[in-house]
Structure 1
Amino acid sequence: MSVVLSEAAIAAELQHHPAPNRAEAWRRAELALRLRDNLLAEAKYLGIAPRPGDGAVCELEDESLISQLLERHVQVPDISDAACRAEYDRVPGRFRSPALFEAAHILIAADMTAPLQRETAREEARRLATLLGERPGRFAALAREHSACPTGAEGGVLGQITARDVTPEIATMLQAMTPGTICPVPVPTRHGYHILRLDQREDGRELPYEAVRETIRERLRRRAWAKAARAYTATLINVQRSELDQQETAS
């Protein structure tokens, strides 16, 4: 027998199921809740108990049960070296070491959610950028005097970094800059405005297969697990859809 779901529960679930219209979103939310109930019922039928430490909050306990149920029913074969090699060769040059940058910055800090602070910081950063356009040799001195980052004490030098070490906005600008130049436009981030100098850049190199084989194997394993999990839950989804269709017909 299907569990009777309250309208409040379905309404709360709606936010997780965007759809072209409310009726479809409602249907998806109801289906998701019924699927969750089905998974929990199956886990309890099999005698699965929450892992130690997972039951302090009801939601965590439910997640623990569902996770263990999927671990039992979703199995994937070992990923062969041949499959890893095929994935490596599928898009030549895809696996590369990250580009390395030697750069420096001056941070004019601001609460970017406060319009007045944001505008004040932007004007100060523009002033310094204009000054550096005329006298680039003053970068270190201005960093020590104005930068809100601890690197200011070292003249703003960031050292050797990758795109992962900085915000996406800074990474994008560094990729576009020519080594030996100062960006004429301050770069806004959640921390404030940055004036950037790029000293050197070493583009990433293609990595040999042996260096990325295990990374590829794990990626393929996760992909296979997700596919198997979808196949397992699809049977439950089809059952739930059939039940909902019957209920709609009966009503």
Structure 2
Amino acid sequence: MTFAAGQVAQAADSDVVAKVGKSTVTEAELKAAEAELGPQFQSLPADKRQLAVLSALIDIKALAAEAEKAKMQNDPAVKAQLEFDRDRALHNAYFAKEGIAKISDDELKARYDEEIKAMPPRKEVHARHILVKTKKEAEDVIKELEGGADFQKVAKEKSTGPSGPSGGDLGFFSQGQMVPAFEKAAFALKPGEFTKEPVQTQFGWHVIQVVETRDAPPPKFEQVKDQLQQLLLREKYMQMVGKARKALGVDYVDPKMKSQVQQLEKQMLGEQPDSGDAAAPATPAATAAPAAKSQ
């Protein structure tokens, strides 16, 4: 093997980059092998990684040639594996071309707008707190505040929490982000109010003040773009598989197996497919669909 990494990288897909007996290794085969074997060589520098994959591919072809000499391709288990590998490669290639490649930013943006419109409003509060060790200390703080003391000033002087130096400011938070007792007290207050009774949590005793409330802003498109893409891919995959199954027809030799598969599909999909619908797409197969590559 005399090819330098740069020479391999510049080869056309049809170019032969190595020969193993009567067999050849083309650039296209090397790219396919790199997709499968590349992660095994992540610790290697980039200029060595492709050569390592090529070396591994040569090993594979060498033993494959020996296996063919031994007629192992006629072994039922090997034949089944070869058929599965072929079908999976075609499955992945078809979905990559007809599914992944056809999802545009415009489609993602339209789905984003649809999802945001359907989101129920979610309340957020902007709060401050003063954290002390004992209930008595918290009661004394409340008396100070009721006497007109400035909340932020008292927080800086007495709060033991990490937010103390910034006047106890916790910023905005929504339900589920704080411990239950703290959250319940904070969401019960109106802007400008503070708790009249100390609030106990595992961190100590709190006096809480709410600065303002608002509806939580929706996530930005770029923040959820990848999630939306996976959602659309799953939907597109299920549509494609369902259409293909219906066109081809699916028959089970064992009626019991048919029932069990349909029950599993129903559970995985969270839906209620018709009992006789053998064309319903199987969710377990969807997990084998090629994932979208980040751009």
TM-score (norm 2): 0.38
Structure index of larger Rg: 2
Q: Which has the higher contact order (CA 8 A, sep 6+)?
A: 1
